[in-house]
Each structure stands twice: as C-alpha cells, then as structure tokens.
Structure 1
Amino acid sequence: VGSSTDSTDDSIVNAIDKAALTIKHMDWFEVIETRGHIADGKVSHFQVTIKVGFRLED
C-alpha cells in the first residue's frame, strides 16, 4: 500500500520504495485498487494497493 497527498503516481512510487526496503529483484507491479479521501469537496489524499512481482534468489 502506498499513499500520497499529491497524486496516484506518487502513491505508487511510495509503495514500491517501501517494498524495496525488504524485497529484492522486483520486476513488475500491478495496481490492484485506487482509493482516496475527500476533504472540503476536493481530493486530499490518494492511496493505492499494488501487487509486486519479484524473482527469488538461487
């Protein structure tokens, strides 16, 4: 899961950056869900759930 107050793209980057702390050899990602929060009639927060593909070490 990644989140951002700026954009869904930033949410994706944040999710991948977080996953990269513990997962090596990531190759692809898929956005599973996009959500957000509305405050005062405007989008105030974006959240994405992603699936990440990675290779196992030999």
Structure 2
Amino acid sequence: MELTLLQILWTGKDSRVEGGAVAGSVYKVIEIIGTSDTSWEEAAKSAVEEAADSLDDLRVAEVVQLDMHIVENKVVAYRAKVKVSFKYHKDA
C-alpha cells in the first residue's frame, strides 16, 4: 500500500514499505510567514528559503493564507502564511 503525500502529512507518519519492511518516518509541521514587496509568490518563496536556512530535510510547503499589509491606502507588502514540513530526527 502506498500512502499519498497528503496522508503522510496528515498522520505525520510515512509507513510505506521499503525492502520488505515497514519504514516509519515522522514529520514536524510549522507555520511561518514570508513577506515581499512584489508578490505573494515571492513572499511564499522567501518563507521557504528562510526556513531552509535553519531546518534540515524540508519536505512540503503549503500556502495556507495570503494577505497584504496596507499603509495609507497602499499595499506595502504581500504576506504568505506557509505550513512547512520537515523530517523529524530524534536527538542522538
């Protein structure tokens, strides 16, 4: 049985079969907000790139909310709230 990526993210477990044995992986999901003065796409990309600087084994990023920061009736920043999943490694 092969799990879809959505099932893996939902359960936090990857129990696909590898080499005849059940492999188990755990993923942590965090929410971060990226900003850009040009677009939501750049805001989301910025969030993932910043997360990649401090987290290992990033797996999936899901944009969950888009909004804008407005000052004096003008859009000054695009913001993207992103859920990022990464593989959890137990401390040795």
Structure 2-normalised TM-score?
0.54
Q: Structure 2: where are the runs of 5+ without partners?
A: 1-32
Q: Give the superposition deviation at 1:41.
A: 4.9
Question: What is the Cα-based RMSD across aligned positions, in Å?
Answer: 1.8
Unaligned runs of 5+ in 1: none
**Greater share of strand:** 1
Identity %: 26
Report which stretch shifted further, 7-16 or 32-41: 32-41
> Under a length normalisation based on structure 1, what TM-score does the superposition of the two structures give?
0.81
Q: Which has the higher contact order (CA 8 A, sep 6+)?
A: 1
Match of 1:21 in 2: 53
Larger Rg: 2
Aligned residues: 58
